[in-house]
Amino acid sequence: MSTENAQTKQDKMKSALVEQSRPARPNGLITSLTFAWRALLKIKYVPEQLLDVTFFPVMFTLMFTYLFGGALAGSTNEYLQFLLPGILVQTVVFTTVYTGVALNTDISQGTFDRFRSLPIWSPSPLVGALIADAFRYTIASIIVIILGLVLGFRPSGGIIGIVLGIVLILIFAFSLSWIFTVIGLLLQTPKSVMGISMTLLFPFTFASNIFVDPATMPSWLRAFVNANPVSILTTAVRGLMRGRASVGEMGLVLLSSAILIIIFAPITMYLYRNKR
């Protein structure tokens, strides 16, 4: 009798394993959104991750406005009208480095290998992380704008100019993040990713037109500043918020973003698939 019972259990187990139909494979959009939700849950349980998009924008805005506003523009209010779109750009650009840091953290903890073994669209973890980062960029942008309005920032472009400016920044930030995913895949530790990324970003953010008009700079530095993608983005965002942005300025930002994606997205995917 015991032999018959054992055989019956075996048959039931085989039927459960063999005869059950497999669930349909999820599409790329679903898996990407799932990984985006995973990244957002990290913020829920480790809220300190939002310090870079809450505390730092406030600190930079207050510090530069009240320390340098009177010296550079004659009044803090006048300087704020010039500075705030640039601070908005700087805040979001600095935040993009965390894409590479988070990816490198997953690699160092072994989570990366588990993701690659799943039967899903292979770029899903990367795309999901970038979608979640867009949420962080939006939070940073809203905080900077609200603080600016409280301090006296008055964009003549109105709410439409503000929204379009933020959308343009988000597009550029998405393209810039692909650079830091490459760095995150190449380096060994999250600290090294942060260090190298910040080292690369500082010349492009401070040698730009975020804080001062490049007209007062030496000709060799002015040439670099004018060609700097961060300066091109800042010029377009200022124009949108002042209600006088040109199609050419916005087109240059979109072109720069497209070039970054075309160059660094394929490199990222190659490194992602061949990472050992």
For the segment 186-196, the average pLDDT, to the nearest whole number, is: 88
**Sign of the CA dihedral running 175, 180, 183, 188:** negative
Domain ranges of the chain: 26-274
Q: Which has more pLDDT, 112 or 3? A: 112
With 90 as the cut, is the pLDDT of residue 15 above it? no
Cβ contacts of 89 within 8 Å, gap of 6 or more: 169, 210, 230, 233, 234, 237
pLDDT in the model for residue 140: 85
User: How many other CB atoms are there within 10 angstroms of residue 69's CB atom?
Assistant: 18
Rounded average pLDDT over 158-184: 92
Higher per-residue pLDDT: 191 or 16: 191
What is the percent of the chain with per-residue pLDDT over 70, rounded to a whole number? Answer: 89
pLDDT above 90 (res 236): yes
pLDDT above 90 as % of the chain: 25
Identify residue 212 by its one-letter amino acid code: V
When pLDDT is cut at 50, 70 and 90, the band that residue 253 belongs to is very high
Total residue length of the chain: 276
Query: Is it the case that residue 251 has pLDDT exceeding 90?
Result: yes
User: Which two tokens mark 101?
Assistant: 């840091």
- Dist. CA 32–CA 258, nearest whole Å: 21
pLDDT-derived band at 19 (thresholds 50, 70, 90) equals: low
Model pTM?
Answer: 0.83
Most confident of 68-77, 119-128, 201-210, 258-267: 258-267
Give the mean pLDDT of the chain: 84
CB 176 within 8 Å of CB 264: no
Structure tokens at 4: 């018959």
pLDDT one-digit tens code per residue, 97-155: 888 888 888 888 777 778 777 777 777 888 888 888 888 888 888 888 998 999 888 88
Which pLDDT value is given to residue 167? 93
- Residue 24: DSSP 8-state: P
| Tokens matching residue 153 | 């920032």
